[in-house]
Chain A
Amino acid sequence: MLSRFSDVLQSAADVLAPPPSRLEEFQYHWKMVLNFYHNYDESSKQRVEDTRLPHHLQHMLQLLVDEEAEAAAGADAGAGALGACREAVARRAVPLPDALAALAHADRPAGARALALALLAALLRRTRASLHCAPVHGPLRRVLLRAAPPASPTEREEAELLLALCGRVRREPSLAALFTAPLPEEEPALRLPPAAPRRSPLWDVPPPAARVALAGDGRRTPHDEPERLLLAEPLLRHLHSADSRVVLRACEALLVLASLPAPEVAHLLASSPACECVAERLLAAFRAVPADLDPADAEALPAGWASAPPDEPAPRAPGRRQLGAFFGWLDYCDTLCKECHPALAAHLARAFRSHFLDAAGEALSARGALLATALLARCLRRLDAPELVDEFSDWLVGDGPLEEWPLLLTLVDNCLGADHDLTLETLRFFEVIVEKGNERSMERLVLARVSSRGYVAPPAERDDSAERDERERLNDVSFARERERSRDALQQLQHERRVRERVGELLAHERDERAPSPDLHDDINSFLLLLPRAVLSDPLGADYAQYVADAQRQLQHWLDCTAAHAWRRDTRDADADSCDSRAEADRPAPAPFDEGPFLRALLELAARMPERPYRVNLQLTAVLARLALLPHAALREYLLRPALPAAPATRTLFRALSGVAARLAVAVPRLAQHRRRLHRTRLQLLSEDPAADDAPRHPLLETLIVLEEFCKELAAIAFVQHQHERQQR
């Protein structure tokens, strides 16, 4: 009350006397602050909002802002000269920052800490007060060193101050050194104004640094302590806050610091637990997703770490909040990795693996395997930062022999197990693994296995006619039945002739003087004629052109993605492709072929298609098609060349599919009204409208349609791959 009265007197005096200079006003408010503490009663329960303290301090800040604005307007006049108020601060004549730091520490009267922190943040954001000057950065250091315990009521103000400070450092990287500990020479202790009362918070300022650093971890050795970034510690604590606004500010502040181009700061951040902390938050969010959640719920969620305002109420649908939080942290990791200094990105990727992937991977062999698989697959799909994608791929294939890498074996087990849902999610994961795989992971999973070409029959054991007979025999199973009705047999012959003609036409379109190899003709025919006409749902092969167009597009995508891969330059591949299967007669017999756990699992599933539901089979063909499209000559040969004699007891895609075709060719005609039902199933499955017809379907008919379409797709891929190889030569 009294102080308010004095203000009134002051304004009255202004009317009579000339207005005081800005500095005088500045000093006046400072004196009022000092007076306040001179008369301060420690036992007072008064809150800071009920005092004149905010008024005086805010005025001082405003005077600094005005002074700077005036100087900027008349920049030419006194360029470089400090304003009088700023100078008073710089000379510590009016130690405003010290006072604010002391208030932040003492919190007297109650609420002074929040006020002081907010004013310090405003000082940093509104003025250009040089942090190089010790009377400004010294107090800020003390605030950082004396951070409040977690979940303090002033967390929000602390977070704003930290963001403002990180913002300053981002614009002036040289400032970073001022916020490390230990500092080479500590700033002199606060010189108190002579009038300072004995028991005020300003007086209580301890000698800086030394004592407080002890509070940190208690193992401080004065001289050989490694340099650490003071900004990082409170910031990382805030990442764990329960207040989403505090977490948001901490995320922003870390991003700002990490994006500094200065290697010293990147190094300091890398030696702080920042990356580990972010990865741990990701893991905690992963573990918090309720196990009964439907993985499909992840699709429609906004993906960004900053996509919801921090104060927005959480969505009510069960699990969505946790799911959103998980993908939010994932996106933050990704963003951080893309925006940060390369040295830090490498460190973050390692922490991502050691602190997130390793622990999350354990969930794949536990009860929540289904959800864990779905989340990890979506995780890999969403990642964009090359370092993280690389690390993820490397983690999937491990280091030692692939057959001994537990993670991959778990995935393969899950894929071959009896739980169709888990098989499906694992296959979806495989699709992403192939799609986003790096050179090393693809090499280990697939390419190294086929590069030896061990799947080709050694010349001595080769018997072309036997292989051909095998294929004939497959068709024969149905022939035996069809002979009973000669009309069908005739149609089958016509069908084969037409398919051959169309393939011939397709090949003739290639403007190449060399005749298309007869083997390609055979390969395409092998796929297109795998199923006898009698059980085809679409004997005309209407979508074939569409498959060719799709395959062309996807092959181009692969070509772009793998352009830098070493195996693309491997000249041996060109030899391997010499379509004439008799050319490599002189090669030494390779070791027995081992397709590796990954391909083996896929081919085993292919062989068991009739026992699996439609959705699993469809996903399986998606993974296989993606592999077949890889522009790798040996892989292409292994998957797409039925005409090449394969070594005995070697699993190949064509052998697996032939087995399935043979079973279907026998089983399907035994179903009552199979033609009509087949036709209907086709309409149901391929219709654009999901609600068209949901009458129950027979699983065998569904399998048949998947196989029929897959054969067309493989024929198209074989054709497109062949086209590409010829263009290369």
Chain B
Amino acid sequence: MAYAYLFKYIIIGDTGVGKSCLLLQFTDKRFQPVHDLTIGVEFGARMITIDGKQIKLQIWDTAGQEAFRSITRSYYRGAAGALLVYDITRRETFNHLTTWLEDARQHSNSNMVIMLIGNKSDLESRREVKKEEGEAFAREHGLVFMETSAKTAANVEEAFINTAKEIYEKIQEGVFDINNEANGIKIGPQHSTAGAGGAGGAGAGGAPPGGCC
């Protein structure tokens, strides 16, 4: 399927906060309660539309466990966006955010857009982290914030799409070098032989629609 841009995301955060469930909800619109421990990376992809442009999100779901950090670190590079997830019913997952943020900033490119996600908002009765705390943390570290529920799908679309919007704006502002794939953004084979579909047109991708200065 042809797209104007491809954005790479990673999902990070402690084990068991619902990273894989968020991905599944976003890509397949379903919830699977089975806790299948992620060790290596898992991939998901979906098309969205921003500003009338088709954008392909390629999402990399990573392992939360400390033991597998050696793998997770490898995936930071080349991501344009990150969803940093904690579990509102487990205080310690919120407490570890600083470590995650340091890790992400150290290993990723400096323009990476980070969205802070407080997941499991459906479990209001077991809440341990107040929404205001999440907001304050996000403000302090310059992140976008949202509470989601992978189970009820509340705000899941918004989380992924708002991150994409932010990246898209940065492209318009010329902050991202879109010609370097290492930044996690790829220009699609758009404008070439419209309707050809399938594996995408010839290698010659035209100029980006927004242009850069």
Contact = CB atoms under 8 A, between A and B. Distances in A.
Interface of A: 65, 122, 125-126, 163-164, 166-167, 170-171, 248-249, 252-253, 255-256, 258-259, 300-307, 309-311, 313, 315-317, 335, 339
B3 to A, nearest CB: 13
Given A249-B40, A300-B181, A255 B71 contact: yes
A61 B92 CA distance: 30
Contact of A65 (B34, B65, B68): B34
Nearest to B66: A171
Given A300-B180, A301-B181, A316-B202, A259 B78 contact: no
Interface in B30-64: 34-37, 39-41, 43, 45, 58, 60
A303 B182 contact: yes
Given A256-B68, A305-B74, A122 B36 contact: yes
Contact of A171 (B58, B67, B77): B67
B205 to A, nearest CB: 11
Contacts of B35: 126
Contacts of B75: 304, 306
A167 B77 contact: no
B45 to A, nearest CB: 8
Interface residues of B, number: 29
A304 B182 CA distance: 8
Contact of B36 (A125, A163, A307, A309): A125
Interface in B80-96: none
Nearest to A160: B40
B11 to A, nearest CB: 14
A306 B202 CA distance: 25
Given A304-B74, A304-B78, A167 B179 contact: no
Contact of B68 (A167, A306, A310, A316): A167
B70 A255 contact: yes
A309 B181 contact: no
B203 interface: yes
B48 to A, nearest CB: 17
A319 to B, nearest CB: 12
Nearest to B182: A302
Contacts of A65: 34
Contact of B74 (A171, A253, A306): A306
B153 to A, nearest CB: 23
A382 B113 CA distance: 25
B34 A256 contact: no
Contacts of B73: 335, 339
Closest 9 CB pairs of A and B: A252-B40, A167-B39, A339-B70, A259-B70, A302-B181, A125-B37, A309-B43, A307-B78, A170-B67
9 contacts: A126-B37, A166-B39, A171-B65, A252-B41, A255-B71, A256-B70, A300-B181, A309-B60, A313-B199
Contacts of B199: 313
Given A125-B37, A126-B35, 6 more contacts: A170-B67, A255-B70, A259-B70, A303-B78, A303-B182, A309-B60
B37 A167 contact: yes
Contacts of B71: 252, 255-256
Nearest to A128: B37
A606 B153 CA distance: 68
Contacts of A301: 181
A252 B78 contact: no
B146 to A, nearest CB: 26
Contacts of A313: 199-200
A259 B35 CA distance: 24
Contacts of B182: 302-304, 307
Contact of A164 (B39, B45, B58): B39
Contacts of B39: 125, 163-164, 166-167, 252, 256
B67 A167 contact: yes
Contacts of A300: 179-181
Contacts of B41: 248, 252, 306
A122 B35 CA distance: 10
Contacts of B45: 309
Nearest to B43: A309
Interface in B156-201: 179-182, 199-200
Contacts of A166: 39
A170 to B, nearest CB: 5
Contacts of B77: 303-304, 307
Nearest to A316: B203
A249 B38 CA distance: 12
A125 B39 CA distance: 9
A335 B180 CA distance: 21
Nearest to A173: B67
A256 B73 CA distance: 12
Contacts of B78: 302-304, 307
Nearest to A339: B70
Nearest to B65: A171
A306 B8 CA distance: 12
Contact of B58 (A248, A309, A315): A309
A342 to B, nearest CB: 14
Contacts of A253: 40
Contacts of A256: 39, 67-68, 70-71
